[in-house]
A and B are shown apart, each in its own frame.
Chain A
Amino acid sequence: MKKTPPVVGAGVTRPSDDKLVQMYREMVLCRALDERVWMLNRQGKAAIVASAQGHEAAQIGSVQALQVGKDHFYIYYRDLAVLISLGLTPTEIMLGFTAKAGEPLAGARQFPTHGASKTLNLVNLSNVVGTQIPQAVGSALASKMRGEDAVTIVYFGDGASSVGDCHEAMNFAAIHKLPVIFLCENNGYAISVPLSKQMAVDGIVSRADGYGIPGVVVDGTDIMAVYEATSEAATRARDGRGPTIVETMVERYLPHTSDDDDSLYREQEDLEEARKRDPVRILQEQLIGAGLLPGDTDSVIRNEAKRVINEATDYVDAAPYPEATDFLDHVYS
């Protein structure tokens, strides 16, 4: 897969040093959480796991370029790091993976990370790939109608870009210049189907012209590039200049989900190449280079992450499954 260098507009503020370290903290925490839920899956405690490993920079870099509490987030199953960056705790998230009582997004009625959070303006209604794209456009339409300057960002994979809904939604958003950011996490695979069998081009950004909207490709393992592209898209959206496609080129480190066996279709070499683009390591090196992880800061961050994850694991281990007493509720208002 050809990786296009980041094309970022001028005039966007780079994240502050503090923010960079905060993003690193979130990345480390997310990676630790991700590894833990895979372990829980192998132990039979988590029925299904989809991993954000390799996608963390794209997810955290974009969230941090937006205004949590005001903007709207339409995510998909791979967006674990979006949840972390929005402020969900590892315990809350792990209640989802273990389907335990008190799970905040869906009461454990749904797959992990699915459901919604009203306070966070977070929506992940379903597992049906691509359906969130028109929904996000509708959210942006609502914000615009009320004259709010909230932005809606919608996350989706390269696979989702093939769905008719993606086309219809982008076209509508373009016509009405809606404040929406189409953030594609292009990892080159829809489960086993490689990009070359999903499209005859290298990525989706070349579609932007067909809708008459701007599109940008960024290295999705470079959190700075993602942050900047998203910031610029957000500014454009808030200024009434309409939607942007931000295509982030990322890697999927692991099988599609814990149910998948990627050795059936993925070359070992391809995987090894992919692992060289580890967003956590890349940011770590950038921060060390910039002197932003002085002394034992890095190991403090990592130990703290481990501690939180351990605590969360203990909590969810002890938590009960939900009672089935009210499983018929909330069908109608």
Chain B
Amino acid sequence: MKLVMAVIKPHKLDPVREALTEIGVTGLTVSEVKGFGRQKGHTEIYRGAEYSVAFLPKVKIELVIPNDRVEQVMEVIRDAAETGQIGDGKIFVIDVERSMRIRTGETGDDAL
């Protein structure tokens, strides 16, 4: 199994989730994160004092999938999350050794 971890723009979360559901992905986990990258943060001015906010709001998606679906999942995420503008984010793939569904105790691909 592989863990696909994608960092995307917040307003792309719904499209990505829908696209993944369509290809049969049944589970994923989402975190609200702050991103730092080529796309720069912004400056806020309050009463003349400048506060530079280096980080931008992003959403991190983590989903574990069987090995043979990695290609397709990456494709689908990219299609749904792309705007073509800087800051669109990244997709990373990491190997997962074991998995278990807490409710049933199933393991391996069955747990996903």
- Check if A and B associate: no
